[in-house]
């Protein structure tokens, strides 16, 4: 492993702005850590793209992160974690943490009846990554999974918690109706923003697992184990945000996801990104 030191930043990447939900969880738990976020806003969504394409994009972004001298990479995007994490861990010589294992571990702990639900993008569900991570921990657990492709655009649109959203959720969550899980993994960066609506539809007895929050705890654990936690002084960490495009309503969406306007924001041209291997 390269020479890493606690003062280096943690790199966090996502297909777009949704991964800011993971940044928020990291800031809450590790306020002294410097963060470098990359959102691939020019090429979002990843959730409907092929595995090879998502692996290629994830590789380019990880190379960019390495050039920024991060001490760890967090793959905030569930789709990229599902299809590209293993490849990244093989090809890059720094700790790389995805969201699938932390979310799965937390759900297993919350499932006395050995029944877990997973919702995510089409690619995440098709990959079976959550299913195999859960069943590796406990092969007796029944996993019920459901792709919910309409939810990302609804969150991006800031759609209100109204009849339309409820109907969409009811239709997707029907798969769990006669087979209620103990826990439901929110296996997509955008779903934590729909927690209230999802809880209302699935019922109060089902525990919602936010993979982003669980991942922040895993990052803390891994950094502590490697003695890489930035605890030298009490200053708040610095946060830098890189994106590959400024699409319409960018500022509004980013500020809504982060809870405040984005500062230290930079654009990386797509041809620069594509030059990374
Ligand atoms: N970030 C993606 C995920 O968590 C959702 C958005 C997309 O499809 O790119 O799977």
Distance CA 190, CA 155 (A): 7
Measured from the Cα of 82, ligand 1's closest atom is 10
Ranking 85-94, 168-177, 212-221, 233-242 by mean pLDDT, the lowest is 233-242
The model's pLDDT over 187-223, given as tens digits with 9 standing for 90+, comes to: 999 999 999 999 999 999 999 999 999 999 999 999 9
Give pLDDT, residue 109: 98
Confidence check: pLDDT of 232 > 80: no
Mean pLDDT (the chain, rounded): 95
CATH (one of 3.40.1190.20, 3.40.50.1100, 3.40.640.10, 3.40.50.1860) for 10-98+213-274: 3.40.50.1860
Is the beta carbon of 123 within 6 A of some atom in ligand 1? no
Is the shortest distance between the CB of 188 and ligand 1 below 6 Å? yes
Which atom of ligand 1 lies at the shortest distance from residue 18's CA?
Answer: 1
Nearest ligand 1 atom, CA 188? 4
pLDDT surpassing 90 at residue 141: yes
Is there an atom of ligand 1 within 6 Å of 45 CB? yes
Q: Which CATH architecture describes the domain 101-211?
A: 3-Layer(aba) Sandwich (3.40)
pLDDT per residue over 34-89, tens digit each? Answer: 999 999 999 999 999 999 999 999 999 999 999 999 999 999 999 999 999 999 99
Active-site residue identified among 20, 35, 44, 77: 77
- Residue 237: per-residue pLDDT: 95
Give me the DSSP letters along 113-176: TSEEEEEE-HHHHHHTHHHHHHHHH-TT-EEEEEE-TTHHHHHHTT--SSHHHHHHHHHHHGGG
Residue 148 falls in the annotated catalytic set? no
Tell me, what's the pLDDT at 2? 61
The residue nearest atom 1 of ligand 1, judged by CA position, is 77
Tokens 């738990």 correspond to 29
Task: Give the ligand 1 atom nearest the CA of 120.
Answer: 10
Q: Residues of the chain with pLDDT > 90: what percent?
A: 94
Task: Yes or no: say if 60 and 92 are a contact pair by the CB < 8 Å rule.
Answer: no
Where do the CATH 3.40.50.1860 domains begin and end in the chain? 10-98+213-274, 101-211
242 within ligand 1 shell (Cβ under 6 A) = no
Whether the pLDDT of residue 93 is over 70: the answer is: yes
Mean pLDDT of 108-137: 97
**Nearest-angstrom CA–CA distance, 149 and 134:** 22
Cα separation of 172 and 76, whole Å? Answer: 23
Q: If you take atom 8 of ligand 1, which residue's CA is the nearest one?
A: 47
Answer yes or no: 188 catalytic: yes
| pLDDT for the residue numbered 170 | 98
What CA–CA distance (Å, rounded) separates 174 from 170? 6
User: What is d(CA 182, CA 107) in angstroms, rounded to the nearest whole number?
Assistant: 8
* pLDDT over 70 at 156, yes or no: yes
Residue 277 binned pLDDT confidence (cut-offs 50, 70, 90): confident
Binned at pLDDT 50, 70 and 90, residue 249 comes out as confident
Lowest mean pLDDT, pick from 25-29, 51-55, 211-215, 246-250: 246-250
Task: Determine if ligand 1 sits within 6 Å of the CB of residue 211.
Answer: no
101 Cβ below 6 A of ligand 1:
no
pLDDT > 80? residue 1:
no
25, 107, 188, 223: which one is catalytic?
Answer: 188
């Amino acid at each position: 492993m390269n020479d890493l030191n606690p003062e280096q930043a943690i790199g966090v990447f996502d297909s777009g702005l949704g991964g800011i939900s993971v940044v928020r969880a990291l800031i809450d738990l590790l306020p002294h850590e410097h963060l470098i976020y990359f959102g691939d806003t020019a090429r979002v969504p990843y959730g409907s793209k092929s595995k090879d394409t998502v692996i290629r994009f994830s590789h380019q972004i990880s190379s960019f992160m390495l050039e920024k001298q991060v001490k760890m990479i967090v793959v905030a995007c569930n789709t990229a974690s599902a299809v590209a994490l293993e490849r990244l861990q093989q090809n890059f010589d720094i700790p790389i943490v995805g969201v699938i294992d932390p979310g799965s571990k937390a759900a297993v702990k919350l499932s006395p009846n050995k029944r877990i639900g997973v919702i995510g993008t089409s690619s995440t569900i098709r990959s079976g990554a959550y299913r195999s991570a859960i069943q590796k921990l406990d092969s007796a657990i029944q996993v019920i999974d459901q792709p919910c492709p309409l939810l990302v655009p609804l969150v991006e649109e800031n759609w209100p918690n109204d009849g339309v959203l409820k109907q969409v959720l009811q239709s997707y969550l029907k798969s769990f109706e006669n087979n209620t899980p103990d826990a439901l993994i929110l296996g997509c960066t955008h779903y934590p923003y729909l927690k209230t609506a999802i809880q209302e539809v699935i019922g109060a007895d089902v525990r919602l697992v936010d993979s982003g929050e669980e991942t922040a705890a895993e990052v803390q654990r891994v950094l502590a184990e490697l003695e890489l936690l930035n605890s030298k002084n009490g200053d708040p960490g610095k946060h830098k945000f890189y994106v590959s495009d400024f699409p319409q309503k960018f500022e509004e969406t980013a500020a809504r996801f982060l809870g405040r306007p984005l500062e230290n924001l930079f654009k990386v041209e797509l041809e620069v990104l594509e030059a990374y291997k």
